[in-house]
Amino acid sequence: MYLHCPNCTSAATVEILYGYPGADLEERARHGLVALGGCVIGESEPTHRCLECSHQWLRPFLNPNHLTQDILCMLDDLETANTTAANQIENLFLSSGRGNAEHIPVELVDVFAEIHHAWANFSSLLHDFGETVQVYDDSGRVINEFATADAFDVMQKQLGQLYGLLGALANASLQLGQASKAGGVDEIKTASALVQEARARLNERRKQARALVIDAANL
């Protein structure tokens, strides 16, 4: 799932991080992966920013005891990172195809580093739940509960599926770039259809991940 802007509904949103930024954090901010909020940290400070309309908002924790994020919020943040990575991979391989590059784009290393960081952060937060994960609705009511160990197993499978789908997207984008350079209409249509299919499969995986969390019977 995307974390949509409550003002314009765009999915191009990032987390606002506070404190003195190091070189790595400044680099992530330059690439539009996070926003820097300054050194003043308070409970009422905004937590997210929209890259489309610049709207900033505070996203409250849904867990009534405020000790951990609700897992649905965590999934939103994780899938935002996954979506950003998919867009970057598509653009990288599209450009490579147009340029007839013989090597994998070096920027791909940074993309996968961001994916690993997002999933490691998700795993760390999931561990904080203890032995049981509780899912809350917007009013703070518990709507689901399942073992944390089961959630870890499911997310490991989801990560494996994500890598496979990102590989398919990369290959399709490369073919589209090559077809665009060659100029063949039929080839462009075929490659474009492959890219659309890869995107659709990634979107379906996102839906399945959220459904698994909401419906513990599927775990």
Q: What is the pLDDT of residues 104-121, one digit of tens each?
A: 778 888 898 888 888 888
SS (H, E, C) the chain: CCCCCCCCCCCCEEEEECCCCCHHHHHHHHCCCCEECCCCCCCCCCCEEECCCCCEECCCCCCCCCCCCCHHHHHHHHHHHHHHHHHHHHHHHHHHHHHCCCCCCCCHHHHHHHHHHHHHHHHHHHHCCCCEEEEECCCCCEEEEEEHHHHHHHHHHHHHHHHHHHHHHHHHHHHHHHHHHHCCHHHHHHHHHHHHHHHHHHHHHHHHHHHHHHCHHHC
Segment 189-211, tens digit of pLDDT: 999 999 999 999 998 988 887 77
Q: What is the pLDDT of residue 152?
A: 80
Segment 33-61, tens digit of pLDDT: 888 888 766 667 888 888 889 998 876 54
Which range in 2-11, 46-55, 94-103, 118-127 is most confidently predicted, on average pLDDT? Answer: 46-55
CATH of 71-218, one of 3.30.70, 1.10.3470, 1.20.120, 1.10.10: 1.20.120
The answer to whether the beta carbons of residues 68 and 125 sit under 8 Å apart is yes
Segment 62-81, tens digit of pLDDT: 343 333 346 777 788 888 88
Report the C-alpha dihedral over residues 126, 75, 7, 141, rounded to 10 degrees. Answer: -60
Domain parsing of the chain, residue ranges: 13-57, 71-218
pTM given for the model: 0.62
